[in-house]
Amino acid sequence: MAAFSFNKLVIFGVGLIGGSLARGLRERAGFAGHVVGVGRSVKSVERALELGVIDEAAALDDDAALSRALQGADIVLLAAPVAQTGPLLARIAPFLDARTIVTDAGSTKSDVVAAARQALGARFVPGHPIAGRESSGVDAALPDLYVDRNVVLCPLPENATDDVERVASMWRATGACVRQMSEAQHDRVFASVSHLPHVLSFALVDQILGTPDAELKFSFAADGFRDFTRIAASSPEMWRDICLANRAALLAELDDYTAVLARFRAAIEASDGAALEAAFTRSRVARKEWQKLGGIKPSGDVAAK
């Protein structure tokens, strides 16, 4: 059984991400400390309490409950949509103990860092667990969601090394591999391999919907379409927020992608079979190689802080 460097954990937003952390710590790693869940209303965390995922529920809009929830907290995790980070931090800052470390699970980091620096300074350790499921909410939470998954931490120069290590060890206890990079690098990487594909997938369905024979097209869509558009069934609010939060990096990736597409288009228009085959072959080899490596290749920290 792991020894824990923290005893009281407070999770803001006990859904898939926050709930799986709690379950992973308790059911997988034997964490015996206290877990508090905070929701916009008590009702939103009641289900987590009912499922035994948390020990105590509190409402964000209740000063007394919030104060009690945060008192003596070792680690606070924000697992709410990234757009709420600023308001959330402003709301909880007055109730935080000086020694409490705050971390988050947001999909974008530059915007979160900007908001957190202003509100909390050195006590905020930015993080992003790379895991998800199609279903959301605490009922979808799993104790092993993070096993062999990457959790990216983007430590700030002002963070204490011990604080970063405490957050890292919390995630490691769930079976995750912790990797570090700067927030700018994080946002570039995820704009490329996650945010852009989501936009492209939403766009394909949007395009089909805009044509008079949409129903006919959908009726012939098969396996390729299914996989390509699976992520177009993702949460519109979450992806709206991500697009706005990571706007600069995403626009750069979109422009770069549009240029690649223009190159492909030119080859198709010129009936340049050799160019198409060469490009498709390169992509296929890379995609197969990626798959062979298990899709996700944990290889330790990739960039010095």
Q: Contact between 161 and its own copies (CB under 8 A)?
A: no
H/E stretch holding 12 = strand 8-12
Q: Nearer to its own copies by C-beta: 162 or 220?
A: 220
Q: Nearer to its own copies by C-beta: 12 or 202?
A: 202
Q: Contact between 304 and its own copies (CB under 8 A)?
A: no
Separate counts of helices (H) and strands (E) for the chain: 13, 9
Paired tokens of 21: 């952390």
Q: Contact between 296 and its own copies (CB under 8 A)?
A: yes
CB of 96 to its own copies, least distance (A): 29
> Residue 159, Cβ neighbours under 10 Å: how many?
21
CA distance 124 to 135: 29
Footprint of its own copies on residues 272-291 (CB under 8 A)? 273, 276-277, 279-284, 286-288, 290-291
Choice from 98, 162, 212, 295 touching its own copies (CB under 8 A): 295
Q: How far is CA 302 from CA 110, 149, 150, 185, 246, in A?
A: 18, 15, 12, 10, 21
- Encoded one letter per residue, x for contact with its own copies by CB under 8 A and - for no contact, window 182-211 reads ---x--xxx-xxx-xxxxxxxxxxxxxxxx
Taking CB under 8 A as the binding criterion, the range among 7-15, 62-70, 163-171, 233-241 that sits at the site for its own copies is 233-241
Q: Contact between 229 and its own copies (CB under 8 A)?
A: yes
CA distance 305 to 295: 25
Could you tell me which of 139, 104, 126, 102 has the C-alpha nearest to residue 23? 139
CB of 23 to its own copies, least distance (A): 19
Q: Nearer to its own copies by C-beta: 93 or 252?
A: 252
Residues in the chain: 305
- Encoded one letter per residue, x for contact with its own copies by CB under 8 A and - for no contact, window 112-151 reads ------------------xxx----------------xx-
**DSSP H helical ranges for 120-195:** 161-172, 183-190
CA distance 231 to 217: 19
Footprint of its own copies on residues 239-268 (CB under 8 A)? 239-241, 243-244, 247, 250-251, 253-258, 260-261, 264-265, 268
Choice from 1, 98, 223, 304 touching its own copies (CB under 8 A): 223
User: 168 exposed, middle or buried (CB, 10 Å; 0-12, 13-18, 19+)?
Assistant: buried
Q: Nearer to its own copies by C-beta: 157 or 212?
A: 212
Q: Contact between 7 and its own copies (CB under 8 A)?
A: no
Rounded to the nearest 5°, which phi and psi values hold at 301? -70, 135
Classify 100 as helix, strand or coil: coil
Choice from 271, 301, 304, 305 touching its own copies (CB under 8 A): 271
